[in-house]
């Protein structure tokens, strides 16, 4: 929901739908609108008989209205829609042509100010949305200008104009007869013409019939229906926007686009101008358009390694595979392994990008089944985008996994290529953590990061470098500020490290997470000039270590965000060094690496990448530390760091790896 206490630029242009839009009544100033406020993907477990279930996703359905579209992932129920306009006791199945059903005694659906709830204390909870021991996914769409309007109407004879309040020309309209059996009619701006329609409950391609839309293109206030629709029957219309730029921090972002693409050799690249969190596409013409209405989302996985697909027109369970099909990219999505010569339509929704209000929204540390019932194995309180996991008290590699690279796992202290893992200990299709393993191990920790503007981003990309000048590349990102710390890992080739760039190092210098060496010059092979590191892009050199031609890579980007994160350097003195990060309650996570020299540490060898956190202990006495470059168990008998209300203190007892007089040290701290 919008935070009216935040000091933000006044927003007055979003009048909304009466009391149901993004604006406020009486001319009051409203907060900035983000996609986070109007759309959510949420996965949950069914609670079964006589149990209430609640989805808390931050979407105000009670006051604004909208629709919830739910599908069992591992049980064969039809996808089902509830919405605020027909009454919450009414439902529609999208895999069939039946009119609406009416059974609130079982579903007991309620739209709330921060999500919705369902289930019943008087009878069995309803299987299609809450079957016990099964998993579900729901997509919540809130009514809002530039995103969605929902309209009910009774069809009159002949041509009928239907008014809507979308505030812009629709990109896609889905219409359903709620009284009787009839097709789900779909208008899409990219079909051959306004004489064509698609059928949501059908896998066939487009159909020509001017009697559906009366051969008229929708306007910003109205769409037309024709004689194919049944006179005197009642209909529901879900009216989706296309490329209406009025969202985001500067109120200049579109959050939904409806377009088309054509595959070539089973591949296509779609440029949206934003990274999607939800994509639905369907073949409409070409050699074999008979695929289903395929739905992908970032919670179940928009990966370049694996796929998780649900078809809106089928009751079948979710289909999963170990090849990429629909992968998210910083400015769009990549299609692979689909129909070879088919024309597709799509609807895509921007990924969440509301700035975080506190560090607990974007960073967490947890022991295995430490603070929450399972699942998840490791509790964060938010969907996790990067997971770093290891056992503290034994020899153990640092396991690194990212949501965008699916089941692949790399190790910060090794140079192996990434490998696909079948383990359930780090799976990302959870709303508040990672993993489904139910074992308990207090020594196993997970450091969990969430992407957020100004704090952290993750990007996957293919390399272009061949060790020849001219093969460097610039890669897009969504950090929205210039990065201060960049970590790049080649996922396909062995012998490649987690290479580190920082704006706080000498230009074109690099370090590696698995090495203890100081920052070294890489020339033009690792990075381009610092000027290529901007709020939207970063520049890679022509070498094969960070940019190998044809190989898949992953990049982690960090920046300093006031009150949440701080990246910088400090100079050692040999005495206590107070590192002021601007925090109000000290640092929960500290990573330090000496950048000007490689020196001997009396306990663990040469200087490395030291990690402390408040879960294992940052106190006035001894503080356990681990090193990203080492699989050694944590060291517990040193007092190298102390708490500081505004950041952290490096103590006078710290080794030369952390506090030599005149030494330079790169750090990342998170509040």
Residue pLDDT, tens place only, 376-413: 999 999 999 999 999 999 999 999 999 999 999 999 99
Q: Is 4 or 278 the better-scoring residue by pLDDT? A: 278
Residue 104 tokens, joined:
């609130």
Q: Report the C-alpha gap between 221 and 84 in whole angstroms.
A: 21
Percent of the chain with pLDDT over 70: 93
CA–CA–CA angle 592, 596, 597 (5° rounding): 95
Q: Is the pLDDT of residue 112 over 90?
A: yes
- Per DSSP, the residues of 558-588 read E--BTTTEEEEEEE--SS-EEEE---SS--S
Q: Is the pLDDT of residue 153 over 60?
A: yes
Q: Is the pLDDT of residue 341 over 90?
A: no
For the chain, the residue count is 671
Task: Work out the average pLDDT over 421-449.
Answer: 88
Q: Report the C-alpha gap between 399 and 447 in whole angstroms.
A: 10
What's the confidence (pLDDT) of residue 287?
A: 86
Is 120:105 a contact under the CB 8 Å cutoff? yes
Q: At residue 78, what are phi and psi to the nearest 5 degrees?
A: -65, 145
What's the confidence (pLDDT) of residue 123?
A: 54
What's the confidence (pLDDT) of residue 471?
A: 98
Query: What stretches of 216-275 adopt beta strand conformation (E)?
Result: 222-225, 234-240, 256-262, 268-271
**Strand-pair partners of 578:** 649
What's the confidence (pLDDT) of residue 29?
A: 47
What's the confidence (pLDDT) of residue 586?
A: 98
Residues contacting 476, CB < 8 A, separation 6+: 329, 330, 331, 459, 536, 537
Is 260:343 a contact under the CB 8 Å cutoff? yes
With left for phi above 0 and alpha for psi between -120 and 50, is residue 662 left, alpha or beta? left
Q: Report the C-alpha gap between 500 and 609 in whole angstroms.
A: 11
What's the confidence (pLDDT) of residue 17?
A: 38
Residues contacting 531, CB < 8 A, separation 6+: none
Q: Is the pLDDT of residue 22 over 80?
A: no
Average pLDDT over the chain reads 92
- Per DSSP, the residues of 15-70 read --STTSSSS-GGGPPBPPP-GGGTEEEEEEE---TT-EEEEE-S--HHHH-EEEEE
Q: Is 243 or 3 the better-scoring residue by pLDDT? A: 243
Task: Work out the average pLDDT over 634-655.
Answer: 97
Q: Report the C-alpha gap between 215 and 197 in whole angstroms.
A: 10
Q: Report the C-alpha gap between 585 and 563 in whole angstroms.
A: 9
Is 604:576 a contact under the CB 8 Å cutoff? no
Helix (H) or strand (E) holding 650: strand 647-650
CA–CA–CA angle 159, 162, 166 (5° rounding): 150
Identify the band that residue 25 occupies on the pLDDT scale cut at 50, 70 and 90: very low
- Per DSSP, the residues of 584-629 read SS--SEEEEEE-S---EETTTEE---EEEETTT---SS---BEETT
What burial letters (b/e) apply to 422-454, b meaning 16+ CB within 10 Å? eeebbbbbbbebbbbbeeebeebbbbbbbbbbb
Residue pLDDT, tens place only, 507-548: 999 999 999 999 999 999 999 999 999 999 999 999 999 999
Is 650:581 a contact under the CB 8 Å cutoff? no
Residue 184 tokens, joined:
């789900």
Tell me how far apart the 2 most distant CA atoms of the chain are, in Å.
88
Query: In the β-sheet with 184-188, what is the strand arrangement from edge to edge?
Result: 148-154, 234-240, 172-177, 184-188, 196-199, 207-208
Q: Report the C-alpha gap between 479 and 335 in whole angstroms.
A: 24
What's the confidence (pLDDT) of residue 11?
A: 32
Q: Is the pLDDT of residue 602 over 80?
A: no
Residue pLDDT, tens place only, 309-325: 999 999 999 999 999 99
Residues contacting 490, CB < 8 A, separation 6+: 417, 463, 496, 545, 546, 548, 551, 552, 553
Range from 129-133, 445-449, 579-583, 663-667 carrying the lowest mean pLDDT = 129-133
Q: Report the C-alpha gap between 562 and 453 in whole angstroms.
A: 12
Q: Report the C-alpha gap between 622 and 640 in whole angstroms.
A: 7
In the three-class reduction of DSSP (H, G, I as helix; E, B as strand; rest coil), residue 545 is classed as helix
Q: Is the pLDDT of residue 80 over 50?
A: yes
- How many other C-beta atoms can be found within 10 angstroms of the C-beta atom of residue 605? 14
Identify the band that residue 105 occupies on the pLDDT scale cut at 50, 70 and 90: low
What's the confidence (pLDDT) of residue 15?
A: 39
Q: Report the C-alpha gap between 455 and 453 in whole angstroms.
A: 6
pTM: 0.94
What burial letters (b/e) apply to 58-94, b meaning 16+ CB within 10 Å? bbbbeebbbbbbbbbbebebbbbbbbbbbebbbbbbb
Identify the band that residue 603 occupies on the pLDDT scale cut at 50, 70 and 90: low
Task: Work out the average pLDDT over 261-286.
Answer: 96
Percent of the chain with pLDDT over 90: 85
Cα-Cα-Cα-Cα torsion 332, 337, 338, 343, nearest 10 degrees, comes to: 50
Q: Report the C-alpha gap between 437 and 423 in whole angstroms.
A: 9
Identify the band that residue 6 occupies on the pLDDT scale cut at 50, 70 and 90: very low
- Per DSSP, the residues of 325-343 read SEEEETTEEEE-SS-TTEE
Q: Report the C-alpha gap between 34 and 14 in whole angstroms.
A: 12
Task: Work out the average pLDDT over 570-599.
Answer: 97
**What's the N-to-C CA distance of the chain in angstroms?**
23
Residue pLDDT, tens place only, 359-383: 999 999 999 988 777 789 999 999 9
Q: CA gyration radius for the chain?
A: 26
Identify the band that residue 48 occupies on the pLDDT scale cut at 50, 70 and 90: confident
Residue 576 tokens, joined:
């206590």
Residues contacting 189, CB < 8 A, separation 6+: 169, 170, 171, 172, 242, 258, 259
Q: Is the pLDDT of residue 118 over 60?
A: yes
What's the confidence (pLDDT) of residue 346?
A: 98
What's the confidence (pLDDT) of residue 49?
A: 72
Q: Is the pLDDT of residue 26 over 80?
A: no
């Amino acid at each position: 929901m919008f935070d009216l206490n935040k000091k933000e630029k006044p927003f007055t242009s979003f009048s909304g739908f009466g009391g149901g839009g993004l604006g406020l009544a009486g001319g009051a100033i409203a907060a900035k609108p983000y996609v986070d406020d109007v759309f959510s993907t949420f996965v949950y477990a069914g609670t079964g008989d006589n149990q209430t279930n609640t989805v808390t996703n931050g979407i105000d359905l009670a006051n604004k209205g909208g629709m919830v579209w739910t599908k069992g992932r591992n049980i064969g129920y039809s996808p089902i829609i509830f919405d605020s306009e027909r009454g919450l006791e009414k439902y529609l199945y999208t895999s069939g042509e039946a009119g609406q059903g009416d059974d609130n005694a079982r579903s007991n659906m309620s739209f709330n100010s921060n999500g919705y709830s369902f289930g019943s204390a008087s009878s069995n909870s309803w299987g299609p949305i809450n079957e016990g021991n099964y998993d579900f996914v729901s997509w919540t769409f809130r009514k809002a200008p530039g995103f969605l309007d929902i309209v009910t109407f009774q069809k009159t004879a002949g041509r009928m104009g239907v008014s809507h309040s979308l505030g812009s020309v629709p990109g896609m309209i889905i219409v359903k007869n709620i009284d009787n059996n009839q097709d789900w009619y779909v208008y899409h701006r990219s079909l051959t013409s306004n004489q064509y329609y698609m059928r949501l409950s059908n896998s066939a391609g487009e159909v020509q019939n001017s009697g559906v839309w009366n051969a008229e293109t929708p306007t910003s206030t109205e769409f037309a229906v024709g004689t194919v629709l049944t006179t005197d029957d009642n209909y529901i219309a879900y009216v989706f926007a296309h490329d209406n730029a009025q969202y985001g921090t500067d109120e200049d972002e579109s959050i939904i686009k409806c377009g088309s693409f054509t595959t070539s050799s089973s591949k296509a690249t779609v440029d949206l101008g934003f990274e999607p969190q939800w994509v639905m596409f369907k073949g409409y013409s070409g050699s074999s358009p008979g695929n289903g209405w395929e739905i992908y989302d970032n919670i179940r996985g928009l990966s370049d390694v694996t796929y998780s697909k649900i078809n809106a027109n089928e009751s079948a369970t979710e289909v999963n595979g170990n090849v990429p099909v629909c992968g998210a990219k910083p400015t769009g999505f990549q299609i692979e392994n689909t129909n070879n010569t088919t024309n597709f339509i799509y609807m895509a929704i921007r990924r969440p990008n509301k700035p975080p209000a506190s560090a607990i929204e974007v960073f967490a540390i947890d022991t295995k089944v430490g603070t929450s019932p399972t699942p998840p194995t490791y509790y964060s309180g938010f969907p996790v985008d990067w997971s770093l996991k290891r056992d503290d008290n034994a020899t153990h590699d640092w396991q690194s996994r990212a949501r965008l690279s699916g089941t692949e796992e790399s190790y910060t202290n090794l140079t192996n290529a990434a490998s696909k893992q079948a383990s359930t200990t780090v799976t990302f299709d959870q709303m508040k953590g990672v993993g489904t393993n139910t074992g308990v191990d207090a020594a196993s920790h997970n450091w969990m990061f969430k992407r957020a503007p100004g704090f952290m981003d993750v990007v996957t990309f293919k390399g272009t470098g061949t060790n020849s000048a001219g093969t460097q590349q610039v890669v897009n990102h969504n950090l929205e500020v210039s990065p201060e710390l960049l970590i790049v890992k080649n996922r396909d080739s062995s012998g490649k490290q987690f290479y580190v760039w920082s704006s706080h190092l000498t230009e074109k210098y690099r370090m590696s997470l698995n090495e203890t060496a100081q920052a070294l010059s890489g020339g033009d092979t690792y990075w381009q000039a610092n000027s290529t590191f901007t709020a939207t892009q970063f520049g890679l050199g022509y070498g094969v270590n960070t940019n190998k031609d044809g190989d898949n890579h992953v990049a982690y980007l960090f920046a300093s965000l006031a009150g949440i994160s701080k990246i910088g350097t400090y100079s050692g003195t040999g005495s206590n060094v107070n590192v002021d990060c601007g925090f109000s309650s000290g640092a929960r996570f500290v990573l330090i690496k000496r950048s000007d020299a490689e020196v001997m540490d009396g306990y663990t060898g040469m200087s490395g990448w030291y990690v402390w956190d408040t879960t294992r202990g940052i106190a006035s006495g001894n503080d356990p530390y681990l090193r990203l470059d080492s699989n050694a168990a944590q060291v517990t008998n040193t007092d190298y760091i102390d708490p500081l209300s505004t950041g952290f203190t490096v103590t006078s007892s710290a080794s030369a790896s952390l506090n030599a007089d005149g030494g330079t040290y790169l750090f990342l701290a998170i509040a």
